[in-house]
Structure 1
Amino acid sequence: MNVNINDRLIAGFWRTSLWGKSSKELNYFINQLIECGITTFDHAYVYRSEAAFGEAMAHSASLREQAKIITKCGIRGVGPGSLDAKNTSHYDSDKLTIIKSVDNSLKDLKTDYVDTLLLHRPDYLMNVQEVNEAFNELKRSGKVRDFGVSNFNVTQFNLLQSALDVKLCTNQIEFSPFNTEALDNGLFDQCYKNQVSPMIWSCLGGGKLFDESHPVTSRLTKVLNEIAEEIGAVSISQVVYAWVFKMPCQPRIITGSSKIENISPLVDSIHLTLSKEQWYQIWAAAVGHDVA
């Protein structure tokens, strides 16, 4: 596992419908991200982000060659679309559903392939042989280059991998000072052992980092500010990103902002180095106690 430094940050587009950007404004934002060195873009069928992204990309013919597109399938929310549920949102990893979802994504994204396809959530009724058949067909057709999962636990990941002819390239999971479960539930250990680079969502705790009324934030802020001064960081967000990047399994972080001024400083966090003691200072503030 050797993740290119330019691939450590991923731009998340799950809030696209709330940003209020025109297709030309979104095109400008995508170009700004690429200029910053961020060339991977995260989508999902349920985000309703793909059509807007496809329209934005169409303004610049060269963008598709520079961009790496991630999308996800497997959640059918209630709605009017052909892949939506009629009455009850549910997970669906059937072969035909996976293939149909990819075809829908390709149409909306205005491209003939996606770089990475993830199963968005574990389907309790998943037939792993059907998933294997779907992945093989998508691989043979050139519609998908790599495959992974999102929000799978260790046993779910292992079960699926045991049935696949392709190697899963990632598991997209939540991790932050507000949710440290991946340190102890085996997910990071599994990624390191299998040479899989996880993608991290909500690494700033979904905004909790800036909520001083939150009990974890009240412990973290002082420590993060002290370490920011020690390592030359310009914000506590940079320090948290550096804390996540310190993990040996070489995680990649998904951003969530629509403002380049919020994202561009985070690129520098890739080059910030925490000592082991500094890393554990943040961990202790996060969990509320020192090591035993």
Structure 2
Amino acid sequence: MMDRRQLAPNLDISRIVYGLWRLTEDPNHTPALAQAKIESCLAQGITTLDQADIYGGYASEAALGDVFGAAPELRDHVEVVTKCGIIAPVGRYADARVKYYDTSAAHINQSVETSLRLMKTDYIDLLLLHRPDPFMDPEDTGPALDALVTSGKVKAVGVSNFKPHDMALLSAAMSQPLVTNQIEISLTASESLTNGDLAYLQARNIPAMAWSPLGGGTLFNPENADLLSRLQALGTAHGTDAATIAYAWLLAHPAGIIPIVGTNSLDRIKAIGAAFNIHMDRETWFELYSLGTGHEVP
């Protein structure tokens, strides 16, 4: 049984989350294939799906809605995370002159209604503000998020890519807690482990969700050959692959980091859960950390 993390009294999520940011990029994408991916996740206890309105050029939420439309029973077995706040000149915002952020109450409410309609659901388990907005009015944004939780349209709210001071500013204008911050964490992007981002969350018992746990593929770049070689050796020793070891490295951290895995390969999806079978001792953890940063610890 896969571990779970409770984010709110009425919401707990799987310790590994399946990310849908590349769902519509699969050249073989069909609703049936997307359903097979989700069912493969469920077979391992991965019940949480990570979305955003902007994913797939604002097409990914509709793609998930197609799955729920064909197999509505799946909705009762998953938790849906989605995000809002980025306006990019593509898809339904093709007429935008520039890319910008909108965390106004009006936009958040409109975005949630659109997400509910496209995903063919009447509630969102977890809504995140996708990026910190330098033009945010917390006295407008905060109450809007509170009201969405009170209404039942959203079970809980959080943020993504926020710094501690951004979270503090928004939280000061809210009655509901921010239950997570989705930030980049990987062996090749580990700055949050030492710059205070993760410590801020850990001190408040707020789980961090880790996007791009494979460093956006940088683990496999030539400049990381030593790291990859060690990951592969550990993978062989454990009967798995380098990616699974990289996930296990994140899972081993005492902060209870929640990796978001975004592969489109069914074979790789079926192997994700193996990361929980790997015990990583402190010395191995620091060995990989040092290889990822390119130097030993001071």
Give the alignment's TM-score, normalised by structure 2.
Answer: 0.91
In structure 2, the partner of 1:236 is 242
In structure 1, the partner of 2:173 is 163
Quickly say closer, same or farther: Cα 1:133–1:18, change in 2 above 3 A. same
Quickly say closer, same or farther: Cα 1:225–1:14, change in 2 above 3 A. closer
The one-letter code sitting in structure 2 at the alignment partner of 1:14 is: W
Q: Deviations over 1:158-201 (max 9, x none)?
A: 21122211111111111111111101111110111111111111
Contact 1:69 1:114 in 2 (8 A): yes
The alignment status of 1:126 with 2:136, answered yes or no, reads yes
Contact 1:42 1:71 in 2 (8 A): yes
Post-superposition shift, 1:222? Answer: 3.1
In structure 2, the partner of 1:30 is 38
Measure, in 1, the Cα distance between the counterparts of 2:271 and 2:173: 41
Measure, in 2, the Cα distance between the counterparts of 1:236 and 1:16: 22
Matches within 5 A, 1:164-243: 164-211=174-221, 213=222, 215=223, 217-228=224-235, 232-243=238-249
* Aligned residues with identical type, % of pairs: 32
Specify which of 261, 274, 294 is matched with residue 288 of structure 1: 294
Quickly say closer, same or farther: Cα 1:166–1:282, change in 2 above 3 A. same
In structure 1, the partner of 2:263 is 257
Contact 2:13 2:48 in 1 (8 A): no
SS of residue paired to 2:89: coil
In structure 1, the partner of 2:96 is 86
The alignment status of 1:147 with 2:157, answered yes or no, reads yes
Gaps of 5+ in 1: none
Matches within 5 A, 1:60-71: 60-71=71-82
Post-superposition shift, 1:84? Answer: 6.0
Post-superposition shift, 1:53? Answer: 0.5
Measure, in 2, the Cα distance between the counterparts of 1:75 and 1:229: 41
Post-superposition shift, 1:28? Answer: 2.4
Post-superposition shift, 1:6? Answer: 7.0
Quickly say closer, same or farther: Cα 1:222–1:37, change in 2 above 3 A. same
The one-letter code sitting in structure 2 at the alignment partner of 1:264 is: K
Post-superposition shift, 1:224? Answer: 2.1
The one-letter code sitting in structure 1 at the alignment partner of 2:83 is: K
Tell me the matched-pair count: 286
Contact 2:240 2:274 in 1 (8 A): no
Structure 1 residue ranges, 4+ long, deviating more than 3 angstroms after superposition: 225-230
The one-letter code sitting in structure 2 at the alignment partner of 1:238 is: T
In structure 1, the partner of 2:9 is none
Contact 1:113 1:142 in 2 (8 A): yes
The one-letter code sitting in structure 2 at the alignment partner of 1:60 is: A
Deviates more, 1:105-114 or 1:162-171: 162-171
In structure 2, the partner of 1:76 is 87
SS of residue paired to 2:276: helix
Contact 1:227 1:278 in 2 (8 A): no
Deviates more, 1:255-264 or 1:195-204: 255-264
**How much is the aligned-residue C-alpha RMSD, in angstroms?**
1.8
SS of residue paired to 1:117: strand
The one-letter code sitting in structure 1 at the alignment partner of 2:220 is: F
Contact 1:76 1:85 in 2 (8 A): no
Q: Deviations over 1:47-104 (max 9, x none)?
A: 12001111111112211110100000000111352x6662111001000100100000
